[in-house]
């Protein structure tokens, strides 16, 4: 199983944003958008990682938004309620979530998620944080 770390960054929220993913000792990717939100970049990082990696993947993210969606199966409630959250409001970033769900719930491969505390000294979390922040800074130029 491939272990991938993902992160999103935003300089202002909304503002210039960046996303990144990296496999320890392996491939990585990063990019950004000129005007976005931190949550969009967190989800985009996982989408880009899953698009780039094949086979079973274990995603490690400091985003409770991403990790809880899968580990607490929030997506089931969203779909059941017609893409409304528990407060009855439209799910933010629906199009990105639909893309991520298609990749993460693909029956031909296993995708699992774990949370890591951000800025806690986890080396690979620090790596993707740096890559995402650099990508966001490039958007602001």
Q: What residues pair up with 29 in beta bridges, in sequence order?
A: 21
The pTM of this model reads 0.95
Q: For 73-76, which contacts have Cβ atoms below 8 Å and span 24 or more sequence positions?
A: 75/101
Taking only the tens place, the pLDDT of each residue in 74-127 is 999 999 999 999 999 999 999 999 999 999 999 999 999 999 998 889 999 999
Query: What amino acid positions are annotated as catalytic residues?
Result: 7-8, 42, 62, 119, 129
Q: How much is the average pLDDT of 28-43?
A: 96
CA dist., res. 27 & res. 116, Å (int): 20
Separation of CA 87 from chain center: 23
Taking only the tens place, the pLDDT of each residue in 56-78 is 999 999 999 999 999 999 999 99
CA dist., res. 1 & res. 40, Å (int): 26
CATH tag for 2-68+96-139 (out of 3.30.420.10, 3.30.70.1450, 3.20.190.10, 3.40.640.10): 3.30.420.10
CA dist., res. 61 & res. 45, Å (int): 9
């Amino acid at each position: 199983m491939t272990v991938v770390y993902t992160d999103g960054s935003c300089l202002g929220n909304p503002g210039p944003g960046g996303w990144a993913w990296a496999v320890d000792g392996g491939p990585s990717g990063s990019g950004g958008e000129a005007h976005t939100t931190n949550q969009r970049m967190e989800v985009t990082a996982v989408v880009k990682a899953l698009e780039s990696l094949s086979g079973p993947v274990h995603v490690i993210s400091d985003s409770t938004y991403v990790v809880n969606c899968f580990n607490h199966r929030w997506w089931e409630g969203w779909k059941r309620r017609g893409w409304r959250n528990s407060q009855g409001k439209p799910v933010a970033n629906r199009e990105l979530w639909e893309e991520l769900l298609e990749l993460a719930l693909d029956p031909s491969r296993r995708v699992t998620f774990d949370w890591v505390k951000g800025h806690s000294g986890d080396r690979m979390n620090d790596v993707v944080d740096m890559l995402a922040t650099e990508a966001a800074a490039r958007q602001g130029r």
